[in-house]
Amino acid sequence: MGATIIDGTAVSRELRARLHGELDAVRSSGADPGLASVVVGDDYAAHAYERRLRRLAEAVGCRFQAERLPVDVERAEVLATIGKLNADPRITGILILRPLPPQLSEVEIYPTLDPLKDVEAVHPVNAGLMARGTPRFVPSTPASCFWILDDYFRSSGREPATALRGKTVVIVGRSHNVGKPAVWLALDRGAIVIDCDEHAFHAGRLAEFTRQADVLVVAAGAPGLITGDMVSDGVVVVDVGINAVPAGAGGRVRLVGDVDFESVASRAEAITPVPGGVGPVTDVWLVRNTVLGSVIQQTSLDIGPWPPA
Ligand code: NAD
């Protein structure tokens, strides 16, 4: 029997309808969400993501502001831009898009964000809250992976809150924005969690672990990394990877995931495609976090104004 192909676009439509309702509810209580993105340089994917977010935010009625800085920008100017957004009451969510050029260290930049506007939970306080199992914001990509999984479990007769208890969840990739928070979310659900990064691959040990997966989440940025011989029958696969690979003449490209779809789908219980899987859900989730940010700021939850007076 073939795998169920999980329709991320349908999941995203449902989430978007929910977002409309959430926006109406927060507006009626006086909050006013606004999302700002910061892009440094000319990275094609970052600019494409910024445009997609603008379209989505404007379509659902959330303010959107794009800050664009040149690739050779000084660190001080980036900090000034972040400071301006931190101080702007009309902005309730700030997204710093990657990649950053070499003169800008993520470790130095992220702590300058107002943690109450840090919708991707990259500020050390928010990452710490996530790791502790009490997140303020759940970063959009891992949040989407687990939202999709919950939806699939529900539709196949399993209770999402308990479906992962005692199951083996294998995560491939260990980035701050995807892999690590996905580990924390899986731990919170009572799963046995294995995380592999490029070193597991170079040690020739990746398949040893991916074969143990009941649920496999792959976020490595390596096209076709996971093949059918690396998974066990009945695995549920979430492919986060988005990779542009050559597609015929004329420099055309097509988008593929980190999973070799055909061979893995022939063994899996269910699988997300690329495109049309995690991506569409992630965008909606980020705007949702911006709405949450407006509520957090309006009610001054837990740690007050930033930086402290
Ligand atoms: P990243 O480069 O920050 O991290 C990649 C991680 O994968 C690292 O931990 C690295 O060690 C590991 N890795 C790389 N090659 C590997 C290999 N051969 N075997 C095992 N591990 C390997 O990337 P990221 O930001 O986490 O993104 C990962 C992928 O997910 C990219 O393709 C990116 O475009 C995609 N992405 C998709 C969405 C979405 O909404 N679908 C959102 C964010 C990122």
Ligand 1 pocket mutation, candidates 106, 240, 278, 286, criterion most atoms within 8 A of CB: 240
Please report which confidence band the pLDDT of residue 299 belongs to, taking 50, 70 and 90 as the band edges. confident
Going from the Cα of 220 to the center of ligand 1, the distance in angstroms, rounded, reads 3
**Interval 246-289: pLDDT, tens:** 998 888 889 999 999 999 999 999 999 999 999 999 999 999 99
Q: Whose CA is nearest to atom 6 of ligand 1?
A: 173
Indicate whether residue 4 lines ligand 1 (CB < 6 A).
no
**Interval 116-135: pLDDT, tens:** 999 999 999 999 999 999 99
Using alpha carbons only, what angle is made at residue 271 by residues 265 and 273, rounded to the nearest 5 degrees? 95
Indicate whether residue 230 lines ligand 1 (CB < 6 A).
no
Indicate whether residue 286 lines ligand 1 (CB < 6 A).
no
Indicate whether residue 85 lines ligand 1 (CB < 6 A).
no
Virtual CA dihedral for 243, 246, 251, 255, nearest 10 degrees? -40
pLDDT (average), residues 55-78: 96
Rg (alpha carbons) of the chain, rounded to whole number: 19
Structural contact between residues 151 and 190, judged by C-beta atoms closer than 8 angstroms:
no
All domains of the chain, ordered by start, with CATH?
Answer: 32-117 (3.40.50.10860), 140-280 (3.40.50.720)
pLDDT at 298 over 50: yes
Indicate whether residue 282 lines ligand 1 (CB < 6 A).
yes
Going from the Cα of 226 to the center of ligand 1, the distance in angstroms, rounded, reads 13
Going from the Cα of 98 to the center of ligand 1, the distance in angstroms, rounded, reads 12
As given in the structure block, the two tokens for residue 233 are 């029958």
Rounded Cα distance between 95 and 105, Å, is 15
High-pLDDT (> 90) share of the chain, %: 88
High-pLDDT (> 70) share of the chain, %: 96
Look-up: residue for tokens 């690329």? 274
**Interval 209-252: pLDDT, tens:** 999 999 999 999 999 999 999 999 999 999 999 999 999 888 88
pLDDT-wise least confident of 53-62, 141-150, 242-251, 274-283: 242-251
Q: Of 111, 165, 173, which is closest to residue 142 (Cα–Cα)?
A: 173
Structural contact between residues 21 and 281, judged by C-beta atoms closer than 8 angstroms:
no
Rounded Cα distance between 39 and 42, Å, is 8
pLDDT at 307 over 60: no
Determine the atom of ligand 1 nearest the C-alpha atom of 243.
Answer: 32
The average confidence (pLDDT) of the chain is: 94
Please report which confidence band the pLDDT of residue 305 belongs to, taking 50, 70 and 90 as the band edges. very low
Ligand 1 pocket mutation, candidates 141, 176, 226, criterion most atoms within 8 A of CB: 141
Residue type, 268: A
Determine the atom of ligand 1 nearest the C-alpha atom of 257.
Answer: 32
Question: If you count them, how many residues does the chain have?
Answer: 309
